[in-house]
Structure 1
Amino acid sequence: MTDTTRDLRTDTGLDVACHINALLPAADPELLPTALSVLADAGFSRIVLPPLDPKTTDAAALAAVLRDHGMTGLTIAGGQGGQADVSSEDAGRRAAGAALLRDVVDLTVALGGDQMNGVPYGPFGPPQGPTSAAAIERAAAEVGAVADYAHERGVTMTFEVLNRYETSLLNTAEQAMAFAELSGSPHLRIHLDTFHMAVEEADMSAAIRTALPRLGYLELGQSGRGRLSTGAVALADVVRQALDDGYEGRWGVEAFSRSVLAGPVADMLAIWRAPYDDGAELARDAMRVIRQGWSLSTVGRRNQRLARSAAS
């Protein structure tokens, strides 16, 4: 671990995760150790794992690899749709969807993790039309119950707000707050992603402030899905403003490139180009952007003054 990494972790105090698919097409046991070393050296303390099958994943082996590299894994809830969908009118399908979510909670615990992200409230993909109020209510009730189940096991459950091309159920921070309240769970948290907010929110910082009481994960992603320093979103400013507004939760970094992802996954995510090829440099670039935003924030400036005073 470099001095720069130590400085980043101790100086900023920020808890930052990186999606493993920014570097690897899958959590391959042979390739994962190298990627984890790269992320740890860049200053990350956590990785976001791709959706895993709880029934076929060797949780003990994966947990050991993460632990050996001083990293913690965040899981992603997937698989809603078809015969397992918490938003369905059919009680059996809702129960199957909730069971899938609980299985991911259990996997999270087995991996030594404390957070489960994802899209637990319904199918992911191009919507066929608006989502009914009844479907939203059904999804909220099921997701809220799973959030309580997760909390009892030491896991924070978040739900990601997506853009209109990936769901019609939740697209804005305001809708997310309403969904969280509708869930009836005080433990359910919101996951905002700047990539999606850039599509849906008129004022990104205002959206973050709206979700702040429930915000558990703030993910940084650029407009073109590439390096955080290149794109339409001024991400250092987003970091600065969120910190100034009082956000103290976990951060995430997400980027996707067709040169890194497996073909079917790239197709599902509509990643048709390769905005970058070097995942290691993307991770380092992301940390530079985050560090810049922190340095400009009130808390960052104060900490830097205290550090200078202590050194003099």
Structure 2
Amino acid sequence: MKRDLPVAQLMPGDILLYRGRGRISDAIRLIDRSQVSHSALFIGRHGETGRAVGEAIREGLVRRELARSAGDAEWVESRRLKEPPASLDPVMEQAGHYLDRGERYAFEQVLLLAFLCLTRNLVDSPALGGLVRETLDAAAGFLLRLFDTGRQPMICSEFVFRCYGEALPGAIVLSVRTPRALRSGEKGPPAGGGIHPGSALFRLFERHGGAPSGDGDTPAAPLRAPVPAEAFAVEQRIEEYVRDLQRRTPKAARIDLASPELAPSFERFAASLHRVKHPPGTAAVPPAEALGGLVEAAADFVTPGDLQRSRSLAFCGKLKMKE
């Protein structure tokens, strides 16, 4: 049901979900089977007349004007806890803690898309392998740029979920989530959490016991591999994939991340994620160990679509930006 919400009726702590524009936003919604591709937290008044949000973007975790944040979106909706606590001050304090250290973090949509390619069930297409490969390479390049500047990745919806989860544990309930990720070498594939049964990462465990290559003692592929400098290569692959889907009957894809086509890109992505999450000087690790860290991150993976689907949150309306 469509409902307009005047900006003046927003409350600090409201969760804002954006339907973004552009091919990467389109791909995020397509793969996550969602209406939204970005999220932010409404902070409140900003200056004399403005209103601010806290969000993860390329420049870091930032406070910025709502109008600027929503400027490129088709629409933005607001959601609130169905059972609100007496005060959301703890959530806002946690948000302030992150935002005051916002230069330590950064986010690119291609990182969200990479996790979706690994953890969601995809529709098969001859163009799918190229999309997954280019996306993983672009995301690995982004992670390496973060490492070079001493920053950490923070997905937009992860920031929102952390603010609530760390201040009010259990306030936002998502789909069934495993209490911990299975590490490489344990029996059975990971299930629950952000890793969907049938996804590429799930099948990797199912078919290969979690090892992306035959040699479990060889360090992961070199991190300094050529990666796309811009999102253009990924956007081209998205366009090819979507165009192909329109011409064929949908069927589930069976992606093998250990295949010669995908294994190098997958290993680079896992190794780059491991590198950026560990102190400088940390030695390279075998693919199986890097994969363990990737699975832990994927099991706790939260998307804007997960927030939109949460039964803990009530739809308040789509923002009426012009009053």
Q: Same fold by TM-score, threshold 0.5 exceeded?
A: no
Which of the two has greater helix per residue? 1
TM-score, normalised to structure 2's length? 0.28
